[in-house]
Amino acid sequence: MDRVRSRVVVEGRVQGVYFRESTRRTAEELEVSGWVRNLPEGSVEAVFEGPQRAVAQAVAWARSGPPSAVVTTLTETAEEPEGLAGFEVRFR
């Protein structure tokens, strides 16, 4: 199985709308590892690691996020997988 890793930074109305918890749930449903956290300037950063198709689905989900979110920009960067296990919400 080929593992890939993508780091995304999502901008818009993405804090205070359950973006992190919704990201965690979505990642777990897709069996993607990684983490998500709020950034001080108001954006959200997430790392998705796992099978290419599942990571692509997680990134696609993040382009709109949960129903209350308004995503204006998503920046994606490919990285080398680190072998992460599980998905966590980080607090900074």
List active site positions: 20, 38
The phi and psi torsions of 41 (rounded to 5 degrees) equal -85, 0
For residue 92, count other CB atoms closer than 10 A to its CB. 6
Q: Is 4 within 8 Å of 80 (Cβ atoms)?
A: no
Sign of CA dihedral 69, 67, 46, 73: negative
User: What's the burial of 45, exposed, middle or buried (CB within 10 Å: 0-12/13-18/19+)?
Assistant: middle
